[in-house]
Structures are given as C-alpha cells and as structure tokens.
A and B are shown apart, each in its own frame.
Chain A
Amino acid sequence: MRKYRQESIKVVDFSDLPFWKKTDRKDLIYVGYGLIILTLVVVSYILGALQFLPHDPQEINMDLLMAPPGTAGHILGTDFMGRDILSRLILGIQAYFLPGLLAITIALVFGTFVGILSGYWGGHIDTVVNYFSNLVDSFPRLVIILLVVAAFKPSMFFIMIVVGITNIPVVGLLIKDKVLFLKQKNYIEAATALGLSNRVIILKHILWYNCRSVLIIQATLGLAEAILIESSLSYLGFGVQEPVPSWGNMVQAGSNYLMQGNFWPSTAPALAILFTIMGLHLLGDGLNNILEWKRGS
C-alpha cells in the first residue's frame, strides 16, 4: 500500500514546498545519519587535536585490563593494556583526517581539471585523459601502495597523495559526463552565444551551478576511502605504528585477545570503522539521490 496525498485543491507555486516534502524519506534518513557521523568525526578530530580527551590515551592501567563498555570512568571500556578505548578512538581520527583531506583535495582539484579538459575540449585531449584514467585504474590501490611503501617507507600524507592520484579518474569521469550532458543540452552553446568567456562559463556555469553537488558527494566518498586505506595499511603494519592509536592498528593489536574471547578491544575500533564508513556511503548516496534527481526524471 502506498499513500498519495494532495494537500490543497489549488496548487499555485510548487517551489514553496519545503524540500523534505519533495524528497524520499529514505534518502532523508540516509543523509541525516551520514551528517551525524560526519559531525561526530569532525568534532572528535578537533577534540583530539586539542588533546581534549577523557583520559590520556597512552596511560597504561594494569588494574583495569579489558574492561567492558560501561565501566565507570571508561565509558567504552579499556583495551588489553588498560588504556581508555574512547580516548584512543578519538585520537585515532588524527591518523586519517588531515591526510584524507589531502587525498580528497588532490582528487577533486585534478579530477575537475581533467574532467573539464576532456569534456569541454574533447578530441585528442580526451584520448590522452582516457589513457591515463585507464592506466591509473589498472593498479589495485592497496597493491600499488605496497610498492610505494617498499620504495619510500612513506608517511601517511605521502600515501594519501597516491590515494588522491588514484581517485582523479573517478572524479574526472563524473565531471566529464556532466560537461557532456550540459553540452548536449545546448547549455554551453547558449552561454557562449551570450558572449560569456570560457573562463566564466567553466567556473560559474559548469562548476558552480552544475558540478558542486557531484564534488560534495565525491568528497564524502573520498573520506570513506581514506579511512579504509589508512585502517588497512595500519592493520598490515605499514601505517600508524603502536602505541600511536589508529582504528586499523587497534583492531590488529586487539586481534590476539579476540581469539581468546575478549572481543571488545578489537571490535570497538571495527565498529567505529563500520559506522563511519557506512555513514559516509549513505551520505554520498543519499545526497546523490536528492541533489541529482532532476537529471534522472
């Protein structure tokens, strides 16, 4: 059973409707959940950067090993060395947040540039861009990062530059599609006919009016990817090293105890990864459904 309801007989101006009435409730839930997660991540990052934590994340407490969540004073319990899990989770965001922003920035800036180049001018430029997109796509990300790790023993920032580069084709393709779509709609021709310069058309009419939602969506998905890469690398022992906390190395460090039945020290960071990545994916997909629906219908 689906319900359809028209509020009044005479509907004159549709644009007065609040946006939540026009959008699917499902997408609102997705975006709402994603925004809560994103806010939590940003606030926690700031708290961590200011060292404003409930406990010292490195403080070892041998009297309180592997305390369950809800223990007085340690709301998320303690790990196998009695360190406060909540504080370590909050501090763990430091491991990926700024490097992740770097990856996102690289992907968005160069992806946009490349997308505009191949969409707006096309021809040989498009062929070259396509070649490089396919080239970058040929490497499984984690495998090429292992090569970089072996070659340079790099920092997380350096690794995230590689992640950013591998994401350039993804953004580039989306922007190119958008430009081609606008071209097909004679949107660009009309703007050119009005005497606007290429720069104004590209910056204002293509990027600002038509591509900003794509870029926002890619930024959220990029952050999710950064978390995934950082936690996988830290898990593999190439990222952030103990005792500095990261969600990935927390899972790894807790895994030995997991085998003995002490799930929590390993599961808490795993759940942090789960809820955060899911939030960012839902935010991206929900925003995509809401902001890009005009294109579909």
Chain B
Amino acid sequence: MSENTVLKIQDLRTYFFSRSKQVFIRSVDGVDLQVNRGETLGIVGESGSGKSVTALSVTGLVTAEPGVITGTIEFTSNGVTKNLLQGLEDFVTFETVDGRIMTLEKDNRGWQKNVDRLVHRIRGQEISMIFQNPRVSMNPFMTIGKQITESIMLNTAIKNAAEATDKARYWLEQVKIDSPNLRLENFPYGLSGGMCQRAMIAMALSSEPSLLIADEPTTGLDSTIQSKIVDLLVELKEQVGVTTMLISHDINIISRLADNVAVMYGGSVMESGPVERILAKDDEYKHPYTAALLESIPDEEHIKLKGHLKAIEGDVLDTVNIPDGCRFYSRCNRVHAKIEDKCRHTEPDLREISEGRLIRCWLYLN
C-alpha cells in the first residue's frame, strides 16, 4: 500500500437477505478499490451495480441485514492506517457451496457496535458524505444553519456557536448559494433541490474531511440544475482539492470530475484506470462492458445515422443469481470460441495489465 493511498477496499462483500424470496441479494460481491490522495475516483455503473452500497459500507451506514460480511477497508489519515472492519470476522460465520455463500450467521448488533466504535471520529470528521435527493437528505426539522454548525462543532476545532455560524456562512458562500445569510435561517422545506444540494455540499465540506464521498450528487435534480451543481463541484475541486470518491451513473459527470475511474457491474469492479484511458473509445484495452456503456451515451452522429439510441443488449445482472463465470457473459458481444468456455465457467480476476490499469476480462488475461 503506497503512502499516497487514502482508502483501499479489498474483497468487500455486502449482502442483503430477502425474507420473502429466501435468497441473498449479493449487492456488493468482492469489490476492490483504491483512492489516492488528492485524486477523484469516479465509480460508474448502471443502477443496481452496487456503487452506493459500497459507499455506505465504507462508513458503516448499511442498515439492511445482514449487510457487510467480509473484506478490509483500510483508511489512512495523518499517516495512520486503520482497517474499518478490524476484527469483525468474529461476528460472522458462513458456509459456502461451490464458492458461494449459502448459509450465514451474523451478530448484527455486535457488528454494528464495533463498526460504530471503529468509525467513531472518522465518520463525519475524516470522511464526509453527500447523498442524492438533497431535499429528503437534509433534516426537515432543523434550519440549514443549525445543521451546518452542528457538523462544524462536532468535527472541527471550532466549538463556539458564533464562530461556527460564521464558518457556516463562509461555506455557504463557497458553494455560491443565493443570499447565504437568509439560508442559514431557512428550513430545507423552503429551498429548491439545487439549493439544498449546495447546502449539503457546504455541510460535507465544512468538517474539512480527508475524504469526500459523493453518492450520486446530481440524481434527483432537474437537468439544468444538475449541470450547475457539476460546475460547482469542478470549481470546488480546483479550490479545495479534497480527495473524493464520486459515484454516478452519468458518464458526463465522471468525465468532468474524475481522475481515475472504476467501472462496476453486478457488485464487482470490471475495470479501473485513469479517466482518459477508460473513457476513450479507442483505447488498447477495453472491457466489453465499458465499451457498451460508452456506446450507449447519446451521440449525435449515431442518432442521425440509425435514428435511435444504442442500448446494451440484455438485462442488468440479477444480483440474486450471479453466474459462475464472468458476470457480463450473458450480455457480452466480444466472446469468441477460444475463450468462451472460460467466460462461461470461471470468473476472471481483476488484474493489472499496465501501469494503474486493472481489468477483469478473459480477453486480456492471457
């Protein structure tokens, strides 16, 4: 682990159990990720690919059961590295059949208690989060000002209410909200979605975190407001420069903000690398899923020629029935006879094929 790494996730698994169907929903199924200091890691994928659950798992905010079951989450700040899932294997026992977890026992309360202890003073202080749907993610019973000052007083050296209010005003100015003084007294109810999201960003930054997790920051907003929020995030990235994990299904946002990108599909990372390589259509290495994802971006020329948008064939992976082989096999258009047997029966590893470039595909593993 290099000194520059802020967050390193290895083999993270977060499952949910559907009581009515008596099956595990393997929402996050062996995720490996790394976020380096000062960079923005974009996580992209369709809905249901486990992006948001990964983010929630990092800060111990998964509430549905059984939740996180295995993995390591190493978080570094001020030169100290801490595994946020340290010693938690004691709370979980499981049995596997054909390499797949079929029976699981978890002491959810003991686990949650330990997670809360491990992330205490990290959640909020070191890792801040921005969520989607800002209007329901802000406390409707507290003024914007109170919510931001609470965050400041909990997580920074400022313990004086008046000073904290000044600081809150400063952050509201930073996120370019209209009339910040008035907004301090407003309840979220009276604000538009865009203003709420600005306030939410101000609140997240006000604790001066070493890692910011932005979980679909533009989802749930009007499209004109979306682009303004993205402009703001780009500007803040230049000014404040906080290490960020940006989760989005929108490739445009990722391309504008991210330095590195991880592409997720069906609960695991398919490929990762620098943004310009991953998003370039003509790169030397390209996971078929990423290629299909890029194809599906509205493209004027394509619409002119064919008269419609291109979609990825097939359905999004059902995270209940995860296949034995490659997760993307059933929708992949680049399988050829030589590797088909492997694609169908053996899952490829996520392997580094060139500097900083990891890919999980049999096409490139020989």
Contact = CB atoms under 8 A, between A and B. Distances in A.
Direct contact of A and B (CB under 8 A): yes
Interface of A: 1-7, 9-11, 14, 17, 21-24
Given A10-B321, A11-B321, A5 B104 contact: yes
Nearest to B16: A4
A257 to B, nearest CB: 49
Contact of B23 (A1, A6, A23, A24): A6
Given A2-B65, A2-B66, A4-B66, A11 B21 contact: yes
Nearest to B318: A11
Contact of B22 (A2, A3, A10, A17): A17
B102 A6 contact: yes
A22 B20 contact: yes
Contacts of A5: 22, 102-104
Contacts of B100: 9
Contact of A7 (B20, B22, B104): B22
A3 B21 CA distance: 15
A4 B21 contact: no
A6 B321 CA distance: 11
Given A3-B105, A14-B22, 4 more contacts: A2-B108, A6-B102, A9-B97, A22-B19
Nearest to A13: B21
Contact of B106 (A1, A6, A9): A1
A4 B105 CA distance: 6
Interface string B86-118: 000000000001101011111110000000000
A6 B107 CA distance: 18
B98 A6 contact: no
Interface in B9-42: 17, 19-24
A1 B20 CA distance: 20
A22 B321 contact: no
A4 B65 CA distance: 9
B24 A6 contact: yes
A24 B23 CA distance: 15
Nearest to B95: A5
A11 B20 contact: no
Contacts of B104: 3-5
B97 A14 contact: no
Contacts of B106: 1-2, 4
A11 B320 contact: yes
A1 B22 contact: no
27 contacts: A1-B105, A1-B106, A1-B107, A2-B66, A2-B105, A2-B106, A2-B108, A3-B103, A3-B104, A4-B65, A4-B66, A4-B105, A6-B22, A6-B23, A6-B24, A6-B103, A9-B102, A11-B22, A11-B320, A14-B20, A14-B21, A17-B22, A21-B22, A22-B19, A22-B20, A22-B22, A24-B19
A14 B98 CA distance: 22
Contacts of B20: 14, 17, 22
A1 B94 CA distance: 12
A134 B320 CA distance: 49
A21 B66 CA distance: 18
**Highest count of chain B CB atoms <10 Å: which of A1, A10, A23:** A1
Contacts of A6: 22-24, 102-103
Nearest to B19: A22
A5 B320 CA distance: 13
